[in-house]
A = this chain, B = another copy of it.
Amino acid sequence: MPRPIGIFDSGLGGLTVVRAVRRRLPAEPIVYFGDTARVPYGIKSSRTVTRFAAEACAFLCRHDPKFLVAACNTASATALPDLADRFDVPLCGVIEPGAEAAARTYGGRPIGVIATEATVASGAYCRAIHRLAPDAEVIQKACPLLVPIVEEGRTGADPIVRAVLAEYLEPLVRAGVGTVVLGCTHYPLLVDAIAACLGPEVTLIDSAETVAERVAGRLAADGLLAPEAEARGPVQFFVSDNPDRFREVGGRFLGEPAEPVTLVPSEEVAAAADATVEKAP
Contacts and interface: CB of A to CB of B under 8 A. Distances in A.
Contacts of A149: 145
Interface residues of A, number: 25
A175 interface: no
Interface in A39-62: 39, 43-45, 48
B160 A152 contact: no
Contact of A242 (B45, B163, B245): B45
A160 B149 CA distance: 13
Contact of A148 (B44, B145, B159): B145
A38 interface: yes
User: Can you tell how many copies of this chain the complex includes?
Assistant: 2
Interface string A176-213: 00000000000000000000000000000000000000
Contacts of A43: 36, 39, 151, 242, 245
A233 interface: no
Which of A38, A43, A147, A152 has its CB near the most chain B CB atoms (within 10 A)? A43
Contact of A160 (B160, B241, B265): B160
For the complex of A and B, list the 7 residue pairs with the smallest distance between their C-beta atoms, beginning with the closest: A45-B242, A48-B241, A148-B148, A144-B152, A44-B241, A37-B48, A45-B241
A237 to B, nearest CB: 16
A220 interface: no
Nearest to A149: B145
A164 interface: yes
Contacts of A167: 160
Interface in A220-276: 241-242, 245, 265-266
Contacts of A147: 148
20 contacts: A36-B43, A37-B44, A37-B48, A39-B43, A43-B242, A44-B241, A45-B241, A45-B242, A48-B265, A144-B152, A145-B145, A145-B148, A145-B149, A145-B152, A147-B148, A148-B148, A159-B163, A160-B163, A160-B164, A160-B167
